[in-house]
Structure 1
């Protein structure tokens, strides 16, 4: 269900949902949920089932229940666009959360920070914890290892003949761990890894080192 790794003498559990748990900090890290995107699609006529709206919240609840974090850090693009039906669901969901919640704002996070703060969500442009730099866009900064999202990394796993499996993935290089998009209907940026990089593909039940 998860894969444990070490970075800078810290432990991290990569979860098949796309989240990462940091035991030393008791922190759950999640990127690119894109709440509101499904409602946005439906508003403009896309045939997305209404039941898909609750799937992101169900997945959030499941991973939180597993790790019981003291804090949750969203690495940007928590909400996809302006206020819509899913903001009401997010408000209700926040009332069930006992963990401290932080949002490192991404390019899609256009809703007023005051709206988040009313719900107890602290909004930051970046967060530094020890030798780790938490951002939305990938950053390279001397002395820091970067946790980020934005790219929605994916990997094309090729088999015999013309078989191919397209999977979301965690992408780790010398300076960064780039998170997969947590949310549904977000698309992927297909990674071509270099020597020394690591790719952990995720399925519906497990995390697999594929490169």
Structure 2
């Protein structure tokens, strides 16, 4: 799905990523690398192969778009360092892109790890009239791209059936990204009349009629 914000075109992808056409920039939030290994270490029964899923999805979305820069909007790595970092290190070497991290609350490992991979780290970024942060932030004169919330939407079906989907949640001056990573969970939003919800299905992104 392609949307227009402040005369700029953005492609919303069903992975949870957004491609900023004029900047050739891929925006991704809340990958939470290392979370699967963290869970397995603490005895939670997640298949070992699940560790590779995030990297498969990252590679697939990169192949989809002609991106020159990747911006991670926080919570790139879930917690303390574990063996998933080695996989990420190898992944960055295979994809020669400029990589930027906007720090999130889970990004607690030493910055030196990122520096060694030539990853740039910022508290926030401003491009033209767009403000890129991890936590939702309102600032006059800017449209905010952010993550952190892991938005989802509950859709009522026939009878008592419900469908729970991750979504891009757009407010008048803000767009909150869904979590890109596996096993992250959702926080279900309640839209108002001025909001827009772009729900993610297996094959596409669809705008939900709120009326």
TM-score (norm 2): 0.98
22, 38, 62: which is aligned to 1:64? 62
Q: Deviations over 1:39-84 (max 9, x none)?
A: 0000000000001000000000000001020000000000000110
User: Quick check: 1:83 aligned with 2:77?
Assistant: no
2:37 aligned partner = 39
Task: Tell whether 2:136 aligns with 1:138.
Answer: yes
Runs of 4+ in 1 over 6 A off after TM superposition: none
Could you tell me which runs of 5 or more consecutive residues in structure 2 were left unpaired when the two chains were aligned: none
Q: How many residues align structurally?
A: 209
Output aligned runs, 1:1-211, within 5 Å: 3-211=1-209
Q: In 2, Cα distance between the equivalents of 1:117 and 1:175?
A: 32
| In 1, Cα distance between equivalents of 2:116 and 2:192 | 44
**How far did 1:97 drift?**
1.4
How far apart, CA to CA, are the structure 1 residues paired with 2:56 and 2:98?
19
Residues 138-183 of structure 1 deviation map (CA, whole Å, 9 limit, x = unaligned)? 0000000000000000000111211110000000001100000000
Deviation of the 1:21 alpha carbon: 0.2
Q: Does the residue aligned with 1:95 lie in a helix, a strand or coil?
A: helix
- Secondary structure of the residue that 2:131 maps to in structure 1? strand
Instruction: Show structure 1 runs of 5+ residues with no match.
Output: none
Deviation at residue 191 of structure 1 after TM alignment: 0.5
* SS of aligned partner of 1:51: helix
TM-score when normalising by structure 1: 0.98
CA RMSD of aligned residues (A): 0.6
